[in-house]
A = this chain, B = another copy of it.
Amino acid sequence: MSAGEIVGVDLGGTKMLLGVLDPDSKVLWESREASTGQTENELVELLIREVEEAREKCPGVAGVGLGIPATIDHERGIAISAVNLPLDDLPIREIIGGRTGLPVFVDNDATVAALAEHLYGAARGVENAVMLTIGTGIGGGLILGGEVFRGATGAGAELGHTVIAMDGPPCQGNCPGRGCVETLASGTALGREGRAAAEREPDSTLGAMLAEGETIDGKAVTEAALSGDATARGVFDLIGSRLGVALTSFANIFEPEVFVIGGGVIAAGDLLLDPARKVLAERALPPMKKTPVVAAELGSDAGMIGAAAMARIELEQVKG
């Protein structure tokens, strides 16, 4: 992969992380801006300003890769809809490309994170990997036969919207489904189940945190669990087991070499992964029972690195 320097952008719901990466994916320059509370138009202007600033610092920039937590039309470069950003059928490739004169490529944030983990992280050297990024929602990325798989137009790999409970609660955000793993095992679910557990068990650490007026969200449950609170650990058993049900389906469907779990909730490490591994070992078909379930390696840079790598691959393909 050559094509000079590439701007990689991880356009998240709370912050935008932008970096200029050289052909070895070394970060030459980086910026971080808040993205919360901005309109669609303000986000676009912010993005253009930051890309232009990156070009001033690194004049060799040859393209831009955008990773966005949204349903994406990858071929046409459109952000169809997003849960946490005000993007609605936005032809973002055309807009950013037109204003900057650079080739722009657009992809789902979890898909580019999977690509980054495939190239440089926990799924290195593997032909088939399933990645989940567990935060406010659950994003999905697929490496199949050594390549990123996105579905017909790039709207696929929405692994968070795999049903694990057909009569379960309505899913969150824009999803019209019920009982999706996103609504039952995301960071949002972790906080919700944590609050319920804190109310049930006032004598636990989690219960004390609630009594002291602390917000019981995913982060608070993680802190309590890491400090040894049995109630908070019980919440992770519940969330991790539900995750394990989804992994069971993905194991039977994909027979991957590895599951890579990223996103904010992976801060809990094996407290989340062990119950998931247990369910997988109990419920998956024999050849898939022992599929490794590991934490992502690239942390919060995965989206930025993967977005740049995706753009680099696309540019090379255009060049033939």
Residue in B140, B166, B253, B256 whose beta carbon sits within 8 Å of that of A242 in the complex? B166
Copies of this chain in the oligomer: 2
Shortest beta-carbon distance, A246 to chain B, in Å? 8
Binds B, one of A99-107, A143-151, A211-219: A143-151
Interface size on A, residues (CB 8 A): 51
Q: Determine if A52 is an interface residue (Cβ-Cβ < 8 Å).
A: no
Q: Determine if A81 is an interface residue (Cβ-Cβ < 8 Å).
A: yes
Q: How far is the CA of A147 from the CA of B144 in the complex (A)?
A: 11
Chain B hits for A286, CB < 8 A: 71, 80-81, 174, 176
A161 touches B285 (CB 8 A): yes
Q: How far is the CA of A246 from the CA of B174 in the complex (A)?
A: 19
B242 touches A162 (CB 8 A): no
Residue in B147, B166, B284 whose beta carbon sits within 8 Å of that of A164 in the complex? B166
Shortest beta-carbon distance, A275 to chain B, in Å? 13
Chain B hits for A145, CB < 8 A: 144-145, 147, 149
Q: Determine if A245 is an interface residue (Cβ-Cβ < 8 Å).
A: yes
Nearest neighbor of A245 in chain B, beta-carbon distance = B166
B248 touches A71 (CB 8 A): no
B287 touches A80 (CB 8 A): yes
Residue in B80, B176, B248, B254 whose beta carbon sits within 8 Å of that of A156 in the complex? B254
Q: Could you list 18 A-B pairs, sorted by A, with CB under 8 Å?
A: A71-B286, A71-B287, A81-B286, A128-B156, A145-B149, A151-B254, A155-B287, A156-B252, A156-B255, A157-B253, A161-B249, A161-B285, A165-B167, A166-B242, A176-B283, A176-B285, A177-B283, A177-B284
Known: A156-B255, A176-B283. 6 other contacts (CB 8 A): A145-B147, A152-B257, A156-B288, A174-B285, A174-B286, A177-B283
